[in-house]
Structure 1
Amino acid sequence: MAIPKSTPAVAAAAAIEQPRRRGRVSVQRVRAAWLFLIPMLVVLAAVAGWPLLRTIWFSMTDASFSDLTTYSFIGLENYLVYDNGAWYGVLADPVWWQAVWNTLFFTVVSVGLETIIGLAIALTLNMQFRGRGWVRAATLVPWAIPTIVSAKMWGWMLHDQFGMINHLLLTLGLIDAPLNWTANPELSMWAVIMVDVWKTTPFMALLALAALQMLPSDCYEAAKVDGVNPVKVFFRVTLPLIYPALMVAIIFRVLDALRVFDVIYVLTSNSRDTMSMSVYARQQLVEFQDVGYGSAASTVLFLIIALLTISYLYLGRKQFGGEA
């Protein structure tokens, strides 16, 4: 029996049917994706969206912790208002701008040091040597310790009377008298940065190490054959290849550092020399019982972080689009 040959009409019908079939499959996949995402979106809206909207609403009221049931809508007065020849509000408070400066200084210095030290540790752990697995596990210990615990531990170590840091420096002859690390205005911020760098450097090292282990070996073999200097290989080959992963780690740390609270509050409490934006918001909200003013400070902090996040995502998408 002869098999009928395909006619042009049959081929055209098949060509039309194939995109339709693919379109139906794509629609089914999109529906399945939304079915899986809806529970997560509902939970996210409940635990994050509703508190955020409530905070924004309270920032435009004169609510107080003494009575959250009775309050009045005052608009943007908690943010900025001109009254009797003077400006009032969060954006006119010099303590707030000091907190902004402290947060930015803490973010730039701590994230910069963590990136440099973490990259150096990652390069070391990427080498072949005996006991590398144990060294990798030991490197992650500071990251595994809760921030409150590590801050309290370092608070005892930095104590001016019986802290081991002062004892060690006195023994080595580096200082003549004990230093009050967490109360001295010139030392308190650097003490906070030191503790944060010790705590978070393993995170940077871990992500950098993961990127290093994904690099192809062909480039390094070619550079070794050509006798290229290892420093030049790092800046010309290694750093450009791990740059995307390193930038992801940096942006995560920057966003985390901008909302820092625990390590600063445990070590220095409400000191203006180290007060971050989160500590400022907590002071207004809890200690001063001013829900409206504290919510306004929290909203400004949220807007700053959201703006940085959106800018990073936009620039990253534009860069990838240009490369494509």
Structure 2
Amino acid sequence: MDHTTPAPAETGAGGKSPARPLPGKRQASRVRRQRLRAAWLFLIPMLVVLAAVAGWPLMRTIWFSFTDASFSNISDYGLVGFENYLVYDSGAWYGVLADPAWWNAVWNTLFFTVVSVGLETVFGLIIALTLNAQFRGRGWVRAATLIPWAVPTIVSAKMWGWMLHDQFGIVNEMLMGLGLIAEPLNWTANADLSMWAVIMVDVWKTTPFMALLTLAALQMLPSDCYEAAKVDGIHPVRVFFRVTLPLILPALMVAIIFRVLDALRVFDVIYVLTSNSEDTMSMSVYARQQLVEFQDVGYGSAASTVLFLIIALLTISYLYLGRKQIGGDA
């Protein structure tokens, strides 16, 4: 009867058997690779379409910003380097970054962004807390709250333009009827009121967006902590600042960054209400004025490129800080 001796296991350096991956780990790695391939399979068509629709016009705009192209003869242009951005000539600075009108547009855009997004966040949070409570007709109130957001921006701006008209606008009629003003106000032409009129229209239009995202975050909160706070007799205001706000803060920050990026490139509501007024001109309105009215494609493309770089820098900073915070929490 033969007794076969099993072959000796292969040994590595030092006489130890080499470590082999466990079957479970190999299976997980294979599944991960399959998911990654499937994800890229779905993403590639979208990336191709995005590159064709957005990437090519963006690259062309950046290219034109280094030229002296104009709409009168857009095919005949020459390279001018950074002259459209900033150049020193004959004892003076020229270019977008040296134009006082551009910096006025930057200030208007930042003021509009900070005030409008701040008000929308506060009002949206109040509306979300109200809609999160239990009361009769809550579904109808939620639907009515979303109506301003569903109205196209151009339509809402035109509607508010008539309502704020100095001669036959309903806003002036109501304020005079209440005795708050003695004579009609020219909301969209007065330098002291035009920016606030634009902010008011934008807040009315976009607050439901903030309320909707905040409400979604509120409805995902666990009820255990609220039941414990109720048993301990903690005041609701303290519960909001100690429990509710920290829990919904990540979702609220996502909503805020979306609104900030949208507000920084605001064009339609400002242009419809006040056209090219310097008191409300945003960076997008400034770029449009250079491109369309002044027919200066190179200069207008430089303004558009600077606006794109500002938004891209803010987006990358937010993504980096968010990823760093998530990594630190992990």
Alignment of 1:57 with 2:66, yes or no, is: no
Q: Deviations over 1:38-95 (max 9, x none)?
A: 1111001000111100000000000000111100000100000001100000000000
SS in 2 for 1:66: helix
CA distance, structure 2, for counterparts of residue 225 and residue 294 of structure 1:
62
> Could you tell me which amino acid in structure 1 is paired with residue 301 of structure 2?
S
Aligned to 2:218: 212
Deviation at 1:31, TM superposition (A): 2.2
> Could you tell me which amino acid in structure 2 is paired with residue 148 of structure 1?
I
CA distance, structure 1, for counterparts of residue 204 and residue 137 of structure 2:
22
Q: Deviations over 1:149-169 (max 9, x none)?
A: 000000000000000000001
Q: Choose from 222, 226, 229 the match for 1:223.
A: 229
Give the alignment's Cα RMSD to 1 decimal: 1.9
Alignment of 1:161 with 2:167, yes or no, is: yes
Alignment of 1:40 with 2:46, yes or no, is: yes
Aligned to 2:80: 74
Alignment of 1:246 with 2:233, yes or no, is: no
CA distance, structure 2, for counterparts of residue 100 and residue 62 of structure 1:
23
Aligned to 1:309: 315
Aligned to 1:203: 209
List gaps (5 residues or longer) in structure 2.
1-6, 10-17
Deviation at 1:13, TM superposition (A): 9.8
Normalising by structure 2, what TM-score?
A: 0.93
CA distance, structure 2, for counterparts of residue 225 and residue 113 of structure 1:
34
Q: Percent identity, aligned pairs only?
A: 84
CA distance, structure 2, for counterparts of residue 206 and residue 22 of structure 1:
38
SS in 2 for 1:87: strand
Deviation at 1:25, TM superposition (A): 3.6
CA distance, structure 2, for counterparts of residue 19 and residue 119 of structure 1:
45
The structure whose Rg is larger is 2
Deviation at 1:225, TM superposition (A): 0.8
Q: Choose from 279, 284, 290 the match for 1:284.
A: 290
CA distance, structure 1, for counterparts of residue 250 and residue 26 of structure 2:
38
Aligned to 1:3: none
Q: Choose from 94, 97, 119 the match for 1:91.
A: 97
> Could you tell me which amino acid in structure 2 is paired with residue 89 of structure 1?
G
Aligned to 2:3: none
CA distance, structure 2, for counterparts of residue 297 and residue 313 of structure 1:
25
Deviation at 1:26, TM superposition (A): 3.0
The residue correspondences of 1:107-186 to structure 2 (distance < 5 A) are 107-186=113-192
CA distance, structure 1, for counterparts of residue 251 and residue 32 of structure 2:
31
Normalising by structure 1, what TM-score?
A: 0.95
CA distance, structure 1, for counterparts of residue 248 and residue 178 of structure 2:
40
> Could you tell me which amino acid in structure 2 is paired with residue 235 of structure 1?
F
SS in 2 for 1:283: helix
Deviation at 1:36, TM superposition (A): 1.6
SS in 1 for 2:93: strand
> Could you tell me which amino acid in structure 1 is paired with residue 275 of structure 2?
S
Alignment of 1:296 with 2:273, yes or no, is: no
Aligned to 1:192: 198
CA distance, structure 2, for counterparts of residue 237 and residue 25 of structure 1:
38
CA distance, structure 1, for counterparts of residue 177 and residue 19 of structure 2:
89
Q: Deviations over 1:297-316 (max 9, x none)?
A: 00000000000000000001
CA distance, structure 1, for counterparts of residue 175 and residue 8 of structure 2:
90
The 3 A distance-change label for structure 1 pair 58 and 167 is same
Q: Which moved more, 1:278-287 or 1:15-24?
A: 15-24
The residue correspondences of 1:266-281 to structure 2 (distance < 5 A) are 266-281=272-287
The number of aligned residues is 318
Alignment of 1:101 with 2:102, yes or no, is: no
